[in-house]
Amino acid sequence: MMKKRLAAMLFIGAAALLLASYSNASDDSSIIVKSGNVFIDVIVEQEASSAALASTDERLFQTWMSSHSEIPYVQLGGSITITANRDLTGSYEIRDVLLKKDGSLKYSAQHSIKTGHVTDIQFDQGVGSFILTENMNAYLSSQSADYEPGAAIRGFKLYLGDTDESIVFVIRTDAGNAQEQKAVFECISAKPS
């Protein structure tokens, strides 16, 4: 009798977990970010905020970084697609800043921290995409390692004012195109005569 009761409880528990996973999969607030075949994890924070990047957003980037051992690489010129499982239509701004490996701001006094590097993204029926372009602040570094391929860590914030949600994700990319990076690297590593 006890074995049957235990088996029934296990079955009910497994069924409840399965149903919960299905209901979470169709949750209207879920956001999927990807570039090509690479999925990029996001943090969605629902609270009164604003579209502008603030120094307080640094904690979201740090949380993202502390929970990931690998940062996905996206090549400059690559497309990043954001899919919301709801009817999201209109133009939004996505902002990005350069980060250190711990998720803190690379340049705490980035002159553009309030605005960040701004890219417009047009959503239609819950899907929007943008082309990854250079963040000119990447050229502020005097460290040659920052110009190596994939060394630029960028944190992105998309604010959805209609739902007071901030969507945050982090990628690795290059500081600039290969020719520009080579020229900068040669300038930095040149020895004075």
Whether residue 1 lies inside any domain: the answer is: no
Q: Which residue has the higher pLDDT, 190 or 13?
A: 190
Q: What is the pLDDT of residue 41?
A: 95
What are residue 172's DSSP bridge partners? 73, 153
| Percent of the chain predicted with pLDDT > 90 | 40
Residues in the chain, how many?
A: 193
Whether residue 61 lies inside any domain: the answer is: yes
Q: What is the pLDDT of residue 35?
A: 97
Q: What is the pLDDT of residue 30?
A: 84
| Dist CA 73 CA 23 (whole Å) | 31
Whether residue 7 lies inside any domain: the answer is: no
Whether residue 8 lies inside any domain: the answer is: no
Number of domain units in the chain: 1
Q: Which two tokens stand for residue 151?
A: 């060394």
Q: What CATH number corresponds to the domain at position 177?
A: 2.70.50
Whether residue 39 lies inside any domain: the answer is: yes
Tell me what the pLDDT averaged over the chain comes to: 78
Q: pLDDT band for position 64 (50/70/90)?
A: very high
* 3-state DSSP assignment of residue 115: coil
Average pLDDT over residues 85-111: 84
Whether residue 66 lies inside any domain: the answer is: yes
Q: pLDDT band for position 88 (50/70/90)?
A: confident
Whether residue 11 lies inside any domain: the answer is: no
Whether residue 15 lies inside any domain: the answer is: no
Task: Reply yes or no on whether the pLDDT at 15 is more than 90.
Answer: no
Range of the domain at 172: 28-189
Task: Reply yes or no on whether the pLDDT at 112 is more than 50.
Answer: no
Q: Tell me which residue of 173, 154, 156 sits closest to 43, measured CA to CA.
A: 156
| Dist CA 72 CA 144 (whole Å) | 21
Q: pLDDT band for position 107 (50/70/90)?
A: confident
At 133-185, the pLDDT tens digits run 998 888 888 888 889 999 999 999 998 877 778 899 999 999 987 555 556 55
Contact present, 64 and 168 (Cβ < 8 Å)? yes
